[in-house]
Amino acid sequence: MTGKLDIMTLKQAAADNRIDTVLVCLVDMQGRLMGKRFHVSNFLQSAWEETHCCNYLLATDLEMDTPAGYASTSWASGYGDYVMKPVLSTLRYVPWLEGTAMVLCDILDHHTHQPVPHSPRQMLEKQIQRLMDLGYNAMMATELEFFLFNQTLDEIRQNDFLSLEPISGYNEDYHILQTTKEEPVMRRLRNCLYAANIPVENTKGEAEAGQEELNIKYSDALSCADHHTIAKHATKEIAWQQGHAATFLPKWHADRVGSASHVHMSLWQNDDNAFYDANAEYGMSDLMKPFVAGIVHYAPECMVFLAPYVNSYKRYMNGTFAPTKCAWSVDNRTAAFRLCGDGTRAVRLECRIPGSDMNPYLAQAALLAAGIQGIEEKLSLSPPATGDLYNDDSVPNVPTNLRTATETLRGSVMLKQAMGEDVVEHYVRAAEVEQEALDNAVTQWEIARGFERA
């Protein structure tokens, strides 16, 4: 059994004992799947309409702690419920789990049944609607980079995340021999995702030992984010099933290249790429130019949504293919934004800032908001940057730490207007919580550095 499901097909699969479990999932602030496992009979009886969850799920951190400071929920307000409303168009078979289906949910207020504005899926849907009001649809694609390790997650955790062993011993960028050795994980991943109706294009080795890349065909923005989230989840589960660990931490070792998640984007009208003009320089239409100008101009304000954790900023190093300069270019991988497919109907913008830890809904929502603002302001696009931007001091830097990015988000008039002040305040608090966790930590580096010598 493969592909998407509808209720009637699910009923038949349940009657035939082919599906007995339905994962009913929301996407949290960190881009993870959270939810419940329903017996298919109960899902078909009532949960297909709605179920409930604690509202702390959209006000927590990576550790699932309940930090103070969120306006939406708190101990004082009693941590009430949200409604999880299954989006039945996302119902699909989960081929890597026996007898299992999955559905994603929108999150609604328990009392009003209105969408929760700081829910990642709702945030992206809002920007999609803004574009639709202008007459356009966003088409997007993401690249998922990650590392595979020889050990299991439990073994790594029990060893305090020390002595990590990547699945390969050398740079495997485009390397067929080495990636053949990894096929027990990667072949199963490709085939299972394809069977789950996620349009996988390919996998390849990336530019470090044990580093992989998964590419999924472009689609409408919301489907792109759904595909990314499910694929990331599947990668971790399938690696675990094969006795390995997969990590999407952007920078797991100081001397190793980090993992990115580049975002490709274009705006369409009907079946035509509205970014393409055959008679314009680089094939860039009059619509594309202010859209790109808006993204470049407002990128610093979007940074928390592109790089949400302290570790996210450890990627941005010269000579690593991670961008350090906030400029656009024509097919130049040293810039934060790269024009791809110039002069062709496939012309599009690639944002190279996000790391593998990004929440695709938040990243895409922020990028679309910035691009829409560029269109509305009719911003002029500067000439493309050229050459080695790592060493070009005339180009502004990408924000280099979470603290700076947080303060920039706090002052963003553009994002407050696009997303709502309460939403921006919510994610400012999320970034503060992440920074506070590091500020309060005593790291192994500090102990080793100063234990004897301080």
pLDDT at 357: 97
Range of the domain at 27: 7-116
| Beta-sheet pairing, 263-269 with 328-330 | unpaired
**Domain end: 116, 143, 164, which one?**
116
pLDDT at 321: 85
pLDDT at 78: 81
- What confidence tens digit (pLDDT) does each residue in 248-307 have? 999 999 999 999 999 999 999 999 999 999 999 999 999 999 999 999 999 999 999 999
**Residue 392 placed within a domain:** yes
What is the mean predicted confidence (pLDDT) over 426-447?
A: 94
Same domain? For 138 and 63 the reply is no
Same domain? For 185 and 89 the reply is no
- Beta carbons of 33 and 229 less than 8 angstroms apart: yes
Same domain? For 28 and 87 the reply is yes
**Residue 2 placed within a domain:** no
What is the mean predicted confidence (pLDDT) over 82-105?
A: 96
CATH assignment at residue 42: 3.10.20.70
Same domain? For 87 and 131 the reply is no
Confidence of residue 332 (pLDDT cuts 50, 70, 90): confident
Rounded Cα gap, residues 201 and 227, in angstroms = 12
Same domain? For 58 and 133 the reply is no
Burial of 442 (0-12, 13-18, 19+ CB in 10 A): exposed
Report the C-alpha dihedral over residues 41, 45, 47, 48, rounded to 10 degrees. 100
The pTM (predicted TM-score) of the whole model is 0.96
**Angle in degrees, 0-180, between the axes of helices 120-134 and 360-377, rounded to the nearest 10:** 30
Same domain? For 414 and 289 the reply is yes
Structure tokens given for 384: 């493309």
Same domain? For 282 and 326 the reply is yes
Question: What are the backbone dihedrals phi and psi of residue 255, each rounded to the nearest 5 degrees, phi first?
Answer: -100, 5
Rounded Cα gap, residues 154 and 368, in angstroms = 39
**Residue 450 placed within a domain:** no
Same domain? For 71 and 134 the reply is no
Rounded Cα gap, residues 47 and 231, in angstroms = 24
For residue 186, the tally of other CB atoms under 10 A from its CB is: 23
Let me know the angle formed at the C-alpha of 69 by 67 and 75, rounded to the nearest 5 degrees.
65
**Domain end: 116, 135, 160, which one?**
116
Same domain? For 240 and 381 the reply is yes
The candidate with the shortest Cα–Cα distance to 120, out of 427, 304, 362, is 362
pLDDT at 223: 97
Same domain? For 92 and 222 the reply is no
Residue 1 in this model has a pLDDT that exceeds 70: no
**Residue 65 placed within a domain:** yes
What is the mean predicted confidence (pLDDT) over 97-104?
A: 97
**Domain end: 78, 96, 116, which one?**
116
Residue 77 in this model has a pLDDT that exceeds 80: yes
Same domain? For 102 and 161 the reply is no
Same domain? For 51 and 99 the reply is yes
**Residue 311 placed within a domain:** yes
- What confidence tens digit (pLDDT) does each residue in 160-185 have? 898 899 999 899 899 999 999 999 99
The candidate with the shortest Cα–Cα distance to 294, out of 325, 341, 337, is 337
Query: Could you give the number of structural domains in the chain?
Result: 2
CATH assignment at residue 432: 3.30.590.10
**Residue 452 placed within a domain:** no
What is the mean predicted confidence (pLDDT) over 136-142?
A: 97
The candidate with the shortest Cα–Cα distance to 186, out of 121, 246, 100, is 246
Computed over every residue of the chain, the mean pLDDT equals: 94
Residue 387 in this model has a pLDDT that exceeds 90: no
**Angle in degrees, 0-180, between the axes of helices 120-134 and 221-241, rounded to the nearest 10:** 150
